Each structure stands twice: as structure tokens, then as C-alpha cells.
Amino acid sequence: MLDQLRSYQYLGVAFLLDSPAALLADEMGMGKTVQVLSALDRMRRASGGLKALVISPASVKSNWFREARRWAMGATVRVVQGNGSDRRVWYDLPVHILVASYDQVRLDFLLQPPTTQFDVVILDEAQRVKDPSSDTTLAVARIRRRFTWALTATPLENRANDLETIIRLLRPGSLPEKPTLPEIHEVLQGLFLRRKKIDVLPELPPIIDEDLRIDLLPQQRAVYEDVWRGRGTYADSVTHVLALITKLKQICNFDPESNTSGKLDALLDIVNAVRDESGKLLVFSQFVKTLQWLEPRLPIPTGIIHGEMPLDARQAVLDRFDNSEQPMCCLVSLRAGGVGLNIPTASHVVLYDRWWNPALEDQAVHRAHRFGRQDPLMVFRFLASDTVEERINEVLDAKRALFEHYVDDAPSRAASLSLDELRSILDLDAIDIGEHSLEVK
């Protein structure tokens, strides 16, 4: 199958085969899975054997299985299943490629890890192990292996040490406790490979972005202002502040009392354009309630995908969306859309509200910006004017700039949501909050 790879993918395969520790950080939609499986197949054929463990989010285990049957056809491939005692048997089976979820690995390797020695461990969506103190990260560190390959389009999502944790899993002891940026870059030499679609896929149509600033409708605005005026009451902890910001964001989406929404009016304009063009629309929101509220109000066939759905139900919605000959809208929760979805048939994408993490938003958009596209992808980001959404957008812009500085200009990092950022989003310094103080609890 190597003859079907693109030139930059050949380079990715060679990079992996030459790297006992590797961080493949190509942008979303560039075939990181294909490159890994091609490298594993080449390794198996060269050595006469292979024992690889792929660790992925549960939602994409079946995708790894399907892709391995295509790109490593001579290899035996199995997906870890069953209860704890059953799973321990799986790791010792003479299988070339074994696929397990992060949750399974956390349960199986944290306290009494199997003694199995793997040739390669692959960490798919490696940002899942960005927290150095999490049980999942500690469990992954206990797996015996010769090679470790980490895959992620977002090696850093929020905090400065996201990338550092991944590096320490790949090369233990290579970084000091508090590394400087030059020290990180030095360790990443020969460890890190990142390509951008614009550089290696000039034939791929562009993404056309537009930020739409939308006014709240009068009743919506009245409810929003009432909550906003009382915000000082909630200033006694970060938890309360985040809860208040969430409530304000939900009101920006729609007012449940009056069922009014300025964003809905803007979305209907886009839906009508999609219908006229016989296109297909993806709408992302972090709130499932928003998606459920939108569904009966849209004048074209719809489907919903969210994290609580069984995988086969999600796939059924995707199949209907991909195969529909009529205009259709797929409503997707942002968390569910971040991994495991490939939707190149979409013509338009709407980010109905803003998530704290710009990398997660970009991941969702790039699920539609993939091989095979013939037309530009239209992306609309909704921002409710004169609300917390505009303040959140400023935080996102700063994080995106930091990501580009560390990841694209050499390698990677990003900022967490700080106390000062929370205060600025709610403009708490502009009001007298009496005895309340903002403290982390």
C-alpha cells in the first residue's frame, strides 16, 4: 500500500521508522493514522514480526481496526475487549497490532501492569496524556516498549506543560523540571514532525473563515443583562465564576423563557443558502441542549451527534449525512466532534458558540477539511456582540497566537485559563463585589 501514499506521507513513514521516540503532529486531516500503519507494516515485513499497541480514544478504536485491515493487510489486528481479567489475556496474545482505549490502559497498567514487552506503543490523540499526574499518564508510562510514537494535531491545548508531558513520555529524563523554550526546542530536534496542509496539499481548497457578530434579540438581551448585573454575587470562587460564564453563554445561544435567539436568525440565513446550493451543514456547539433546541427549528433534515450516544448510533447519523442527496444539517457537540469524525462532504461549518480551547475548535473544523474536497469550506464563527463571548474570543486569540509561536515556529505550548482572564471576562474589577474575593478552591 506504500505506493498509494502521498510524498509527504512517505517522509512521515521514514521519520517514524527512524525514530524510537517520535511526535507526529501533522495538521488534522493529513493521514497520521495511515502513516503509522504503513510504518508498522513495513516494520513487520522487515523484521518478520511485530507487537504493537495502539492506545486511542474509545470512539476511534473501530476506525483503527478498519484502517489497519487496509494499510497493514498482512498483519493480525485485534481490539481489546472484555472485563479486567479478560483484557490481561489480550496483551499476551501473538497479535501484530492490538488496539486499546485510554480507559482500558489506565485500568490495566496503573497498579499491576502486564509484563508484556511491545515493539511499539502508539499514543493516538496524545493530548490525552498531557497531565503528568493523571492516572492515564502514569499508566502509559508503565508500559514496557522499545518505541513510542505520539500522534496529535494539538500537542498543546491549554497549558505550557502540555507538550512537556508528552516529551517526558517519549524521552524520560530529557527535560529539566522547568525547561526553557530553547531547551524544549533542543530536545524536539529529531523527535518532532509537523506539516501544514497549506504547505503539502496545495490542491486542497481553502478554508474561508468569517466571524459573525450577532446582536441578542430584545428579550434575550433583557435576560442577559439581568444575570450580568448580579454577577458580583458569584465572585467567591473560580467554580462559581465558571458556572456564571456558562449560564451567560447559554443565554447567548437562546433564551429558554421566550425561545428567542439572534443566533438562530443568523443560522437560518446560512441554512437557506446551504439549501439553495444543495450543500451540507455542520453546526458545532458545546451544549447538547442547544443542539436539541435547534433541531426542530431548522427547515432541512437534521441529525444530532453527541458524546453520550453509542458509537453505532453516531455512525448511522454520519452515514445518513454523507449519503444524503438532499441538503442536510448535522448538529454536533464540540467534544464529540473533536475526535473520530471524518466529514469531507460538509460544505459549511458553523461554530455556534465558543469553547475555551481554540485547538479543539480547529480540530472540529478540520474534520471536514480533508482529502477529496472539491470546493472551499465555509466556516462561520458566531459571536454575540457586547457579551462574554467577545471577551472569550480575545482569550482564544491569545492562546492561538501562543500555539503558533511554540508549535509552528519551532515546537509547542499554550496558556491555561488564568484567574486574571476569568476576572476580565466578567469585568469583575469594574464593580464593587463587597466581601467576595476570587480564590481557587
CA gap 257, 76 in Å, rounded: 56
Here the contacts of 59-66 (C-beta below 8 Å, separation 24 or greater) are 59/311, 59/314, 59/336, 59/339, 59/340, 60/124, 60/125, 60/339, 60/340, 61/99, 61/100, 61/101, 62/311, 63/33, 63/340, 64/33, 64/99, 64/124, 65/99
Per-residue confidence at 435, pLDDT binned at 50, 70, 90?
very low
Residues 136-147 have pLDDT tens digits of 999 999 999 999
Asked whether residue 41 falls in the same domain as residue 110, the answer is: yes
Q: What is the CATH number of the domain that holds 286?
A: 3.40.50.300
Within 13 Å and on the Cβ side, how many CA atoms surround 358? 20
- 419, pLDDT greater than 60: no
Say which range, 62-66, 198-202, 368-372, 377-381, has the weakest mean pLDDT: 368-372
Give a yes or no: residue 399 inside a domain.
Answer: yes
Asked whether residue 184 falls in the same domain as residue 212, the answer is: no
Give a yes or no: residue 440 inside a domain.
Answer: no
Q: Which of 276, 207, 287 is nearest to 253 (CA)?
A: 287
Average pLDDT over every residue of 376-394: 85
Average pLDDT over every residue of 319-348: 80
Give me the number of domains the chain comprises.
2
At position 51, the amino acid (one-letter code) is: K
CA gap 314, 293 in Å, rounded: 19
Asked whether residue 182 falls in the same domain as residue 213, the answer is: no
Give a yes or no: residue 412 inside a domain.
Answer: yes
Asked whether residue 288 falls in the same domain as residue 414, the answer is: yes
**Lookup: cell for 393:** 474570543
Q: What is the pLDDT of residue 169?
A: 92
**Lookup: cell for 101:** 482505549
What DSSP string describes 156-192? Answer: -SSSTTHHHHHHHHHSTT-S-SS--HHHHHHHHTTTE
Asked whether residue 389 falls in the same domain as residue 279, the answer is: yes
For the chain, how far is it from start to end, CA to CA, in angstroms? 54
Handedness of CA 338, 339, 340, 342 (dihedral sign): positive
Give a yes or no: residue 439 inside a domain.
Answer: no
CA gap 147, 119 in Å, rounded: 6
State how far Cα 428 lies from the chain centre: 31
Per-residue confidence at 371, pLDDT binned at 50, 70, 90?
low
Domain span including residue 171: 2-200
Give me the percent of the chain exceeding a pLDDT of 70: 81
> Among residues 185, 200, 215, which one ends one of the domains?
200
Q: What is the CATH number of the domain that holds 25?
A: 3.40.50.10810
Q: Residue 257: count other Cβ atoms within 10 Å of its Cβ.
A: 11
Exposure class string for 141-157: b at 16+ Cβ within 10 A, else e: bebebebbbbbbbbbbb
Asked whether residue 131 falls in the same domain as residue 242, the answer is: no
Contact yes or no for 425/245 (Cβ under 8 A): yes
Contact yes or no for 321/339 (Cβ under 8 A): no
Per-residue confidence at 360, pLDDT binned at 50, 70, 90?
confident
CA gap 216, 254 in Å, rounded: 9
CA gap 25, 163 in Å, rounded: 11
CA gap 410, 404 in Å, rounded: 9
Asked whether residue 8 falls in the same domain as residue 153, the answer is: yes
Residues 208-263 have pLDDT tens digits of 788 888 889 989 999 999 988 887 665 566 777 788 888 999 999 999 989 999 99
- 97, pLDDT greater than 60: yes
More confident residue, 342 or 440: 342
Asked whether residue 75 falls in the same domain as residue 145, the answer is: yes
Quote the mean pLDDT of the chain.
82
Asked whether residue 223 falls in the same domain as residue 132, the answer is: no
Asked whether residue 236 falls in the same domain as residue 317, the answer is: yes
Contact yes or no for 130/360 (Cβ under 8 A): no
Say which range, 68-82, 108-122, 237-251, has the weakest mean pLDDT: 237-251
State how far Cα 426 lies from the chain centre: 27
> Among residues 200, 222, 239, which one ends one of the domains?
200
Cβ neighbours of residue 11 closer than 8 Å, sequence gap 6 or more: 193
Q: What is the pLDDT of residue 411?
A: 36
> Among residues 142, 177, 200, which one ends one of the domains?
200
Q: Where are the alpha helices (DSSP H) in 91-217?
A: 102-109, 135-141, 162-170, 181-188, 197-200
